[in-house]
Amino acid sequence: MNMLVVGPHPDDQELGMGGTIAKLVDAGHHVTLLDLTDGEPTPHGSPAIRAEESAAAASILGVERIMLGREHGFVNREVVHSVACRHAVAGVIRTREIDWIFCPDPVDAHPDHRAATRIVEDARFDSKLTKTDIPGTPRHPSRIIYYFCTHLKTIPDPSFLVDTTGFHDRKRDAVLAYASQFKAHEGNRRIVDWLDAQATFLGSRIGVKTAEAFRVIEPLGLSSLDGMI
């Protein structure tokens, strides 16, 4: 299947679900990371630096990565819901023939995250429209799943957890590829330790080494109970 993982900024996808991304790739799915903005300005970054870092992270995870950016109205710290932004994302969904979409959980302190999720939700609807100038052919992804990359000091309240045992180290490496954000920025260095602690805690909830949390609004269907742990 073709999976689209949308992040308001480069590194959101890796932070929120990097282990699951690696697991999906290893299972044979085609995963595309869509960055809405270039994530800049930041204290130690630049557009060129972030582009190099995001490409390195994508290589570690084995995924394709694309960015919409300012050309399509996506500006870091200023992401707003608009028809133009919805249609830009819908164009990606249609031309990449996306089956499932992942995007940030809408309960968040970061305005860009909240706006991005609203845009993606509406783009999923717009992607099925006919008689429109949105590129590609009409398509409606069967699943939209929310990952947690929140700026709130909360513990995720997920619908389900994915076992990422054996994939968390790859997630960690992908996050650390963003040296401007998690090495040069002293205040962010503890985030990687926090990711390790959260993965271990979530894993303990289902009896595995590490896990990542997800939420859905629409029910998930199971062909059998064999995959449940």
CATH number reported for the structural domain that contains residue 105 in this entry = 3.40.50.10320
Answer yes or no: is 23 within a domain. Answer: yes
Which pair of structure tokens corresponds to residue 124?
A: 């999923």
Q: Return the pLDDT at 23.
A: 98
Answer yes or no: is 224 within a domain. Answer: no
Answer yes or no: is 225 within a domain. Answer: no
Q: Is 188 exposed, middle or buried (0-12, 13-18, 19+ CB in 10 A)?
A: middle
pLDDT (tens digit per residue) in 184-194 = 888 888 999 99
The reported pTM is: 0.96
Answer yes or no: is 99 within a domain. Answer: yes
Q: What is the mean pLDDT of residues 55-83?
A: 97
150: pLDDT strictly greater than 90: no
Q: Return the pLDDT at 113.
A: 97
> Which one-letter DSSP state was computed for residue 34?
E
Q: What is residue 200's three-state secondary structure?
A: helix
Domain that holds residue 22: 2-215
pLDDT band at 158 (very low <50, low <70, confident <90, very high): very high
Answer yes or no: is 140 within a domain. Answer: yes
